[in-house]
């Protein structure tokens, strides 16, 4: 693992020097310095996402700087703490930027996703405690910045989701790894529907590890920096967080249905089972799923079933291929159409193509084929 990291950062430094200039009309390193802040206190490394007006959405320069700083800190500091300024931890990646030039110039998006997944893996294999204070909106890429760390602290302000099927993508940033490992069919349900989890539900679902009210977050942060022993963080942090065992999961009454239906092997079977169930919950869920990209739904089901039996590294390598083919749009243009409809023109009327009945298993399998050698994720 250490040898692979050394080789990666040998090549990574080249990407930082030259890759950023390829991606923007202006060198964006200085912008990245303002958008993500780094500080060391008492041998703790503190990362602050600093784009509050954009809900701390991450872009390529930010990913590069975070990766570089994590590598620099790993041998020197005792703990990493990551947080966001404003009402969001991180609302995801800046996907408008990476889709702006269309499929013919997909290299820009591929570069972003590849380095984002490298960052996700680095967090997931970090040799020091990595603490994410997810006090606010945490979606998509924000999940990748937090869920792979050892400690994820939620508050009543936390709002988590993986909403990718609504824009023609799939739950990435390691989603094919961590979602299938949630209880029963919950991960598949969250992946397909983009269902939002708020507050204590984030911990009940298994995404957050600890819960703390937002009014006590300043005290908790001070304890992390000045009092808590990083070597015994799992035990000591309990003194500053709350016991929510008596709080009921908001989806508790639907768990039996979710486990029975969202463990089925295909999206077509899930659709049929939801319709046959005939309850308000199942029919509402079915209606929601029918608004999502059909290609994304089939791709997500396949990806999560594969990921259930893979390591984090294998899942991220698979996702890199999936994302690359999504960007190339050889099967479907849904990603570009979804971003247009929901984030650019905001008409919220995406025209998905192909339709579910026109998507064969063979078409979906093409998303898992290797990319060009230099586009593959080697970890």
Per-residue pLDDT tens listing for the chain (379 residues):
544 444 444 444 433 322 222 233 333 444 556 999 999 999 999 999 999 999 999 999 999 999 999 999 999 999 999 999 999 999 999 999 999 999 999 999 999 999 999 999 999 999 999 999 999 999 999 999 999 999 999 999 999 999 999 999 999 999 999 999 999 999 999 999 999 999 999 999 999 999 999 999 999 999 999 999 999 998 899 999 999 999 999 999 999 999 999 999 999 999 999 999 999 999 999 999 999 999 999 999 999 999 999 999 999 999 999 999 999 999 999 999 999 999 999 999 999 999 999 999 999 999 999 999 999 999 9
pLDDT at 32: 54
- Positive/negative CA dihedral, 87, 159, 208, 49: negative
> CA 39, CA 28: separation in Å to the nearest integer?
20
- The first and second tokens of residue 74, run together, are 């790993």
pLDDT at 9: 45
**CA dist list (Å): 60 to 28, 298, 346:** 9, 28, 24
Nearest to 234 by CA among 320, 306, 152: 152
How many distinct structural domains can be found in the chain? 1
> CA 224, CA 274: separation in Å to the nearest integer?
45
Look up the pTM and report it.
Answer: 0.92
Q: Which residues contact 129 (CB under 8 A, 6 or more apart)?
A: 78, 79, 80, 150, 151, 230, 233
pLDDT at 31: 54
Catalytic machinery residues: 93, 141, 164, 172
CATH assignment at residue 72: 3.90.226.10
Range of the domain at 294: 2-375
Nearest to 258 by CA among 125, 174, 378, 250: 250
């Amino acid at each position: 693992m250490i040898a692979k990291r050394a080789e990666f950062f040998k090549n990574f430094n080249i990407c930082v020097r030259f890759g950023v200039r390829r991606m923007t009309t202006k060198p964006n390193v200085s912008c990245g310095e303002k958008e993500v802040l780094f500080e060391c206190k008492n041998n703790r490394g503190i990362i602050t996402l600093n784009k509050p007006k954009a809900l701390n959405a991450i872009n390529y320069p930010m990913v590069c700087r975070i990766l570089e700083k994590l590598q620099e800190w790993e041998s020197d500091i005792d703990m990493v703490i990551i947080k966001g300024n404003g009402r969001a931890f991180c609302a995801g990646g800046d996907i408008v930027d990476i889709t702006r030039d269309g499929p013919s110039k997909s290299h820009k998006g591929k570069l972003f996703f590849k380095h984002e997944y490298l960052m996700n893996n680095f967090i997931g294999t970090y040799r020091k405690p990595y603490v994410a204070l997810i006090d606010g909106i945490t979606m998509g890429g924000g999940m990748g910045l937090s869920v792979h760390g050892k400690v994820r602290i939620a508050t009543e302000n936390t709002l988590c989701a993986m909403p990718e099927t609504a824009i023609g993508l799939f739950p990435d940033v390691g989603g094919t790894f961590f979602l299938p490992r949630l209880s029963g069919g919950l991960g598949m349900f969250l992946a397909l529907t983009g269902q939002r989890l708020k507050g204590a539900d984030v911990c009940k679902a298994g995404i957050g590890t600890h819960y703390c009210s937002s009014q006590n977050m300043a005290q908790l942060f001070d304890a992390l920096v000045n009092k808590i022993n990083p070597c015994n963080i799992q035990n000591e942090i309990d003194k500053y967080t709350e016991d929510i065992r008596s709080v009921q999961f908001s989806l508790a009454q639907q768990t039996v249905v979710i486990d029975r239906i969202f463990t089925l092997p295909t999206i077509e079977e899930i659709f049929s089972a939801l319709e046959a169930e005939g309850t308000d919950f199942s029919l509402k869920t079915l209606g929601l799923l029918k608004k999502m990209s059909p290609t994304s739904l089939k791709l997500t089901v396949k990806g999560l079933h594969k990921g259930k039996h893979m390591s984090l590294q294998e899942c991220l390598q698979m996702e890199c291929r999936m994302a690359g083919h999504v960007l190339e749009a050889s099967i479907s243009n849904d990603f570009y159409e979804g971003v247009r409809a929901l984030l650019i023109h905001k008409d919220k009327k995406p025209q998905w193509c192909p339709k579910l009945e026109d998507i064969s298993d063979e078409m979906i399998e093409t998303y898992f084929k290797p990319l060009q050698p230099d586009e593959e994720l080697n970890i």
